Amino acid sequence: MIPLELSDIAAVTGGRLAGGAEPGAVVDGFVEFDSRKIAPGGLFVALPGKNVDGHDFARAAIDHGAVAVLAARDVGVPAIVVERVQRAAGDNSDLAVGDPDGSATGVVRGMSKLATHVAHRLVAEHGLTIVGVTGSAGKTSTKDLIAAVLSAAGETVAPPGSFNNEIGHPYTVLRCAPTTRYLVAEMSARGIGHIAHLATIAPPKIGVVLNIGSAHLGEFGSKDNIAVAKGELVEALPAADDGGVAILNADDPYVSPMHKRTKARVVYFSAEGAQGGARAPEYYATDVELDDLTRASFTLHSPGYEPQRVRLAVFGAHQVSNALAAAAVGIESGLDAATVARCLSAAHGVSGNRMDVKTRADGVTVINDAYNANPDSMRAGIAALGFTASARPGARSIAVLGEMGELGEDSLAAHEELGHELARYRVSHLVAVGRSKAVDALAREAQRHGIKVVSVPGVDDAAAEVEDILSHPPAGEEGWHERAERDVVLVKASNSQGLWAVAARLLEGHPLRGAAAQADRADNTGRFGTEGSS
């Protein structure tokens, strides 16, 4: 972040200096929650959590080079102590739910004030452009694609994983420095007003709304309410004369009318071609093709440029829409279409457990999309599974599915509908993971459609069942084990189900093919991720 003296940080956050903190000491390093990651010049944020309390690691952070600690109480070392904030009635945010005494809320509020101060100064003094992205599905993948595109124009900061809630968002803002040209801010919500709050921390100049789906209907009550919440992003944009740009999905009937809610200039994108959606799109795709791993190629059409061919390295047909949104951001930011197409074609997913496709040396392909799940992303995942398996004669398609959380009274119907989707894409096997009415409904409906179903209580049994299926050849398949390409496995559920561990176990001990042979990247996004945010 920008260098600031402790006295300035105390003034911005409304805190007081304690523990011998020197007012003139300068923080010029990163803000961190993990004391092990603190580097000299950094600021340690003592965040109380469910399992550990950051206040207990204050001394370790100072020993690692932190200038001070942002805390909710005196910690015996140089600190900026902020007031606790009691949970407001009806606050269902990720933070408030697990914060009984208001310590975490107080610390995060202080960090948010600091992030707001830094963001406004970077915009005013260094020309930082902030891009906000929201939607019920695809936010993280689109954020990664936007970052890949904008990096061609200058230093770009984007959150790792899904740092998109009231904790991860200000943390990401504070990764920006005077040299940062673009910040790509993924914005989620568990209720109306949440995105509006995030937009006050980092005021976006460009806003992208992807879609309105069924995720978190149990909390929002209706898709109309979800649209109200997502539209807060375009409401926060500056007027067209001040450079504001709203990028809307013409294919989504809840998104396309959001032009009425913004003073920014509006452009549309469509994965359905020039006539796609309710409004004529400026950015659209034609000639869409999928390879045998569901990686899409398409022709990108954009205003003022010749059509460009894009060959995505990320997986799933739904990525065409995400890529169009990223292309619109890049071109509206001044990049030419050829550069954008090249960047999109070179982009690889950087956020863990999202359409992460790896093929073992024995030919088994594992699609790990276990970070989160809602009805829309489940349909996309099942489609990818079915398409990939259909390109391999005789291959079996195995869906390892767990519960989709926070769907409210629509949960049973939504899980039953997945049984129809599995049959539609001719998925051969379902391993239903977990003991709940929703998972039972999924299993019953899949079985009714003739799918081979095994129900298991947890991760260990799920991995064992999949390996058992993989190890037994289909009836009448001599030489089956020698095939160059074999079965395909999809692993998907809400993050709380922990099904990513099934994918990990299926890959453990198996050499991988091609690019997948790279060592898996360590990912600590769980702490700031948005299992409960849409």
Instruction: Summarize the annotated binding site for ATP as residue ranges.
Output: 135-141
Q: Which two tokens stand for residue 229?
A: 């919440």
SS3 400: strand
Q: Helices marked H in 73-221 — which ranges?
A: 94-97, 103-126, 139-150, 168-173, 194-201, 217-220
d(CA 181, CA 150): 9
Rounded to the nearest 5°, which phi and psi values hold at 474?
A: -60, 150
End-to-end CA distance of the chain: 28
Specify the amino acid at residue 28.
D
d(CA 492, CA 262): 36
Q: How far is CA 146 from the centre of its chain?
A: 13
Rounded to the nearest 5°, which phi and psi values hold at 138?
A: 90, 5
245 Cβ contact list (under 8 Å, min separation 6): 205, 206, 207, 237, 264, 265, 266, 267, 332
d(CA 226, CA 217): 8
Rounded to the nearest 5°, which phi and psi values hold at 488?
A: -125, 135
Specify the amino acid at residue 405.
G
96 Cβ contact list (under 8 Å, min separation 6): 87, 88, 105
d(CA 318, CA 295): 10
Binding residues, as ranges, are 135-141
Q: Whose CA is closest to 507, among 316, 387, 370, 350?
A: 370
d(CA 185, CA 187): 6
Q: Where are the beta strands (DSSP E) in 206-272?
A: 206-209, 245-249, 265-270
By the 8 A CB rule, do 198 and 207 touch?
A: no
SS3 298: strand
Rounded to the nearest 5°, which phi and psi values hold at 453?
A: -120, 135
Other Cβ atoms within 10 Å of 439 Cβ, number: 22
